[in-house]
A and B are shown apart, each in its own frame.
Chain A
Amino acid sequence: MSGSSNIVAMKKVVQQLRLEAGINRVKVSQAAADLQQFCLQHAQQDPLLTGMSSSNNPFRPQAVCSFL
């Protein structure tokens, strides 16, 4: 009967909401600070951010010139 299956579904929704309501939350100031710190700490190891010379770029090998 569709009536009782709706109730079962709704009970699941309520159960899930209870779960989600009960989690611990960290302050946004802490979360934001941690994100910033991660970015800054890893900035130098981020090639797309810092750029790279062609000798370090596997996709752009340096052309070798030889004297003939």
Chain B
Amino acid sequence: MGEMEQLRKEADSLKDQITAARKAVQDTTLQEAAAGVTVVGRVQMKTRKTLRGHLAKIYAMHWGTDSTLCVSASQDGKLIVWDSITTNKVNAIPLKSSWVMTCAYAPSGNLVACGGLDNMCSIYNLKGKDGNVKVMRELAAHTGYLSCCRFLSDSEIITSSGDCTCVLWDIETGTQKTVFAGHQGDCMSLAVSPDFKFFISGACDFTAKLWDIREGQCRQTFGGHESDINAIGFFPNGNAVITGSDDATCKLYDLRADQELITYQDSSIMCGVTSLAPSLSGRLLLAGYDDFNVNIWDALKAERVGVLAGHDNRVSCIGVSSDGMACCTGSWDSFLKIWN
């Protein structure tokens, strides 16, 4: 038998081993385990604020850690930092490349980042001495579009790219610290664990991967989706991962049981999931869809308990503030809405 053939056999055998090991701990399902829990009552939220100012599709938004400021990115070529309570624009940053696909707010509040079809992640200093917001660093090395970025601190950021890799960067030196390779398709989204030790990535190979940031290794791979994963997030306790896909479903994977526990789907929902965010306790899962709506799911019972309808085009991004007080949606209709 040739070496290649031998390796293929070994790979298949290991995949069967993983499937068997997962089945061996499947002594129940989340559905059964949560049978005694009552479904959450109908959740109704209202639009409390509409943030107007972008002139084209909004592709991304991210809350600052103070739960008041948030940043949004639009293909009108601007990053806008908003005070979500007053609706004032704190900063309006013109971008070199208008083809932006992602943005992020540093936990410190000092920096924001963005990137897109320019294959770069540009870091902006909001607290420069003369009050002007300038590009602080341009992180260039990806050979594909920048789909997502998230700061670990003011000195480190993780990016995901259409080149199928994720990268941990040193912002001071502008260099790659670690390249996380393994996905067989464009990486579309990433999320950092609450303890900052791990991150998860969702890709066009229909899988989600859990990465150990310091070891630089993929620890676990989760399959089951039947199309691209566009959105990913951690359940607030850091022990589970939620994904949203073009296959019109969201899935919850438990990291310690190493398997999918439940799927959030409805026969009436036939369009892709673009974005998702859990509420503070994890009980509610808010997911944005291509059909202009956000569906609110009871995360334990997998039942739809509410809808946020108010945008006139695809909901492209969603985020729940750190204090859990509000949800922000961004849309191709050029508006952001704050709901609670």
Q: Please list the residues of chain A having a beta carbon within 8 angstroms of any beta carbon in chain B.
A: 6-7, 10-11, 13-14, 16-21, 23, 25-36, 38-43, 45-49, 52, 57-60
> B132 at interface (Cβ–Cβ under 8 A)?
no
**In the bound complex, what is the Cα–Cα distance between A38 and B320 (angstroms)?**
18
- Of A10, A25, A36, the residue contacting B11 (CB under 8 A) is A10
Contacts of B182 in A (CB 8 A): 16
CB atoms of B279 and A49 under 8 A apart: yes
Q: Report the bound CA distance from A49 to B41 in whole Å.
A: 9
Q: Contacts A28-B27, A59-B340 known; A47 to B324 CB distance under 8 Å?
A: yes
A31 to chain B, nearest CB (A): 4
Main SS class of interface, A: helix
Closest to B26 in A: A28
Given contacts A20-B219, A26-B257, A31-B256, contact A59 B239 (CB under 8 A): no
Q: B residues near A, CB below 8 A?
A: 3-4, 7-8, 10-11, 14-15, 17-18, 21-22, 24-30, 33-34, 37, 40, 43, 45, 48-49, 68, 84-85, 182, 217-221, 235-237, 239-240, 254, 256-259, 261, 279-284, 299-300, 320, 323-327, 338, 340
Given contacts A25-B25, A28-B27, A35-B300, contact A17 B14 (CB under 8 A): yes
Given contacts A14-B7, A20-B18, contact A57 B48 (CB under 8 A): yes
CB distance from A55 to the nearest CB of B (A): 13
CB distance from B65 to the nearest CB of A (A): 15
The 10 closest A-B pairs by CB, nearest first: A32-B33, A42-B281, A59-B48, A46-B281, A17-B14, A26-B256, A31-B257, A31-B254, A10-B7, A39-B283
